[in-house]
Amino acid sequence: MRLAHFAVFVSFSAMAAGSVQAKAVSEADLRAHIEILASDAFEGRKPGTEGEAKTVQYIAQQWATSGLKPAATDGGWFDAVPLIQRGQGSAEYAFTAKGRKLRIVSEEIILIGKQVDYARNDLPLIFTGAGVKADGSVAADVAGKAALVLFDAENVPNNMKSPRARREALIAAGAEAVIFIGDGQGSWPSLRRLLLSRPIALESREKRAPLEGAMSAEFAVAMITAAGQDWDKLRAHAKASDYAGEPLGIDADFKVTTDIYRFNSSNVVGKIAGRKKGSGAVLFMGHWDHLGICAPEGAPDRICNGAVDNASGIAVLNEIAESLAKKKHDRDIYFVATTAEESGLLGAYAFAEKPALPLDQIVISLNVDTIAIAPRGSKVAIIGRGTTPYDATVEAVAKKTGRAIESSTDANAFIQRQDGWALAQKGVPALMVGGSFADLELMQKFLGSDYHGPDDELTDKTELGGAADDADLHIALGRYFADARKYKSKKAGE
């Protein structure tokens, strides 16, 4: 495998040397950026921390030095992204059946409100099994009720294993409260951890019930048994494919306070102004954020530095910017370093909501994420293959830079897991192009080991060869798509 790569590399690099090219991006160029961005001083680049301040300053300063102009909506470098976190405050609750208050010894319940204060009396509880049917629809009449949902039910559709998807379906069906039951092995601790982790959200896109939470199986069994119901029977009923839930004959009183923390994070936005006004724009993006302090107190290394994910992508973005800014181009070339990708592409969604340029002006958007995986001479995969008119064009440009093409659509498995997806939802042609998603075995090796852990650090072994190749490829793509003679855009009316 490696030998084959080596042979490919030699023959193609000989070809590349023959054509007129910008100075190639080196592994050392990339390493210099990653060394800073993934250093402990940047604390894992979590939104809202000192690490964010250092990161966005570093990016803006790099882009300014390269000759980019600030291009956020207010003319500066930074577009504010309003984020929100919720944490557990206090909770009082009582459950009543047939006018009798239920005695529940367990205290394993966590309740978090949408607003700071939540109070409701006589809220009827309905047991919904998995919460949704195989087709993802909600059969139970949950409107105005508190829906109890089995976290680990066997018949949860594959694409709705995450609590989020089922929660949102139940909210859309009108549930007043959505409370998961940690019924499987280890699921209560993981639900608990999830709820108490103060997950970051973009308030404008949130779909939340007035009250959400989780209880342990122990709590649920105690409550349901005290109400004279049979837990095992309920669980057995819930296995039916047409299960429509069962009212439990239990009413709940809730008085819950929630800690709410709102803060602004930043997308960094810069541009190289084109010389042909109105000819559209090429957009490069990559997320600067990572997970911050991610290991518990006392762990030998507590910082998730995110060297590969995604200091490597920002390093490549910086090098693309530096190279492309040396020449004039017809179209504007935008660079966006997004925040809060790790919390669900939030910075990218915020950009799509309030873009620094009209979205219909974007000829192509190219996202750069987790790029330091593959060695030199790797094939080029396209995430988003088949979703834009550009596959053949991108392949032709890639071949010119000496790269071979991975023509399968396997890499599309990652299409929803990267920032370009947020723009694609608004009709922007959005691709992610490069070597790191061409060899999915190599990618899976990373995802199954250092990924999202303290070991995603820059070391002597960090593979930057493929990232350097990909930087050159993106520079070539930028030059091609920003050239109004080479690439005529229907969008720009040419």
Based on CB atoms, which residue is closest to Zn ion, 147 or 345? Answer: 345
x-marked contacts with Zn ion along 331-360 as a string, rule CB under 5 A: -----------x------------------
Residues contacting residue 347 through CB under 8 Å, at least 6 positions apart: 81, 265, 267, 287, 289, 338, 339, 340, 341, 419
Residue 197 backbone dihedrals phi, psi, to 5 degrees? -80, 5
Closest residue to Zn ion: CB criterion: 309
- The least distance separating Zn ion from the CB of residue 86, rounded to whole angstroms, comes to 22
Nearer to Zn ion, 309 or 450 (CB): 309
Q: Which residues pair with 126 in a beta bridge?
A: 147, 247
Q: Which is nearer to Zn ion, 355 or 420 (CB)?
A: 420
In the shown chain, the binding pattern of residues 159 to 198 toward Zn ion, with x for contact by CB under 5 A and - for none, equals ----------------------------------------
Residue whose CB is less far from Zn ion, 45 or 235? 45
Q: Count of residues binding Zn ion (CB under 5 A)?
A: 2
Position 395 contacts Zn ion (CB under 5 A):
no
Q: Which is nearer to Zn ion, 126 or 411 (CB)?
A: 411
**Closest distance between Zn ion and the C-beta of residue 371, in Å?**
12
Name the one range near Zn ion by CB under 5 A: 84-92, 165-173, 307-315, 350-358: 307-315
Q: Is 289 in the site for Zn ion (CB under 5 A)?
A: no
Euclidean distance between CA atoms 171 and 131, whole angstroms: 11
Does 309 participate in binding Zn ion (rule CB under 5 A)? Answer: yes
Q: Which residues are CB-neighbours of 93 under 8 A, at least 6 positions away? A: 109, 111, 252, 253, 254, 255, 256
φ/ψ of residue 4, rounded to 5: -60, -45
**Of 183 and 289, CB closest to Zn ion:** 289
| C-beta closer to Zn ion: residue 325 or 374 | 374
Strands (E), 174-295: 177-182, 200-202, 211-216, 246-272, 281-287, 292-293
For residue 201, what are its two tokens?
């959200």
Minimum distance of Zn ion from residue 82's CB (angstroms):
22
Euclidean distance between CA atoms 302 and 343, whole angstroms: 19
Round to whole Å and give the CA distance between 82 and 71.
19
Which SS3 state, helix, strand or coil, does residue 493 take?
coil
Least distance CB 113 / Zn ion (angstroms): 29
The two tokens of residue 24 are: 């190639």
Tokens of 421: 């997806």
Residue 341 CB, shortest distance to Zn ion, in Å, is 7
Binding of Zn ion at residue 419 (CB under 5 A)?
no
Options 76-84, 205-213, 303-311, 465-473: segment touching Zn ion (CB under 5 A): 303-311
450 lies in the binding site for Zn ion (CB under 5 A): no
Asked whether 211 and 181 are in contact (CB, 8 A), the reply is no
What's the closest the beta carbon of residue 487 comes to Zn ion, in angstroms?
Answer: 31
Measured at the alpha carbon of residue 266, what is the angle toward residues 355 and 448, in degrees to the nearest 5? Answer: 100
Assign 3-class secondary structure to 113-157.
ECCCEEEEEEEEEEECCCCCCCCCCCCCCCECCEEEEECCCCCCC
Token pair, residue 383, equals 């995430």
What does 340-375 look like in DSSP terms, one character per residue?
A: -GGGTSHHHHHHHHS-SS-GGGEEEEEE--S---SP
Alpha carbon 413 to its chain centroid, in Å, reads 14
CB of 287 or CB of 331, closer to Zn ion: 287
Smallest gap from Cβ 289 to Zn ion, in A, equals 9
Q: Is 472 in the site for Zn ion (CB under 5 A)?
A: no
In the complex, minimum distance from the CB of residue 270 to Zn ion, in angstroms, rounded to a whole number: 23
Rounded to a whole number of angstroms, the minimum distance from the CB of residue 343 to Zn ion is: 10
Report d(CA 443, CA 427) in Å as an integer.
28
Closest approach, Cβ 436 to Zn ion, in A, equals: 13
Q: Which is nearer to Zn ion, 69 or 302 (CB)?
A: 302
Interface with Zn ion, residue 456, by CB under 5 A: no
Query: Considering the complex, what minimum distance in angstroms separates the CB of residue 122 from Zn ion?
Result: 44
Q: Specify the residue, 169 or 411, whose C-beta has the smaller distance to Zn ion.
A: 411
Residue numbers 56-85 binding Zn ion by CB under 5 A: none
Is 220 or 430 the residue whose CB approaches Zn ion more closely?
430
The 10 Å Cβ neighbour count of residue 480 is 17
- The residue ranges that bind Zn ion (CB under 5 A) are 309, 342
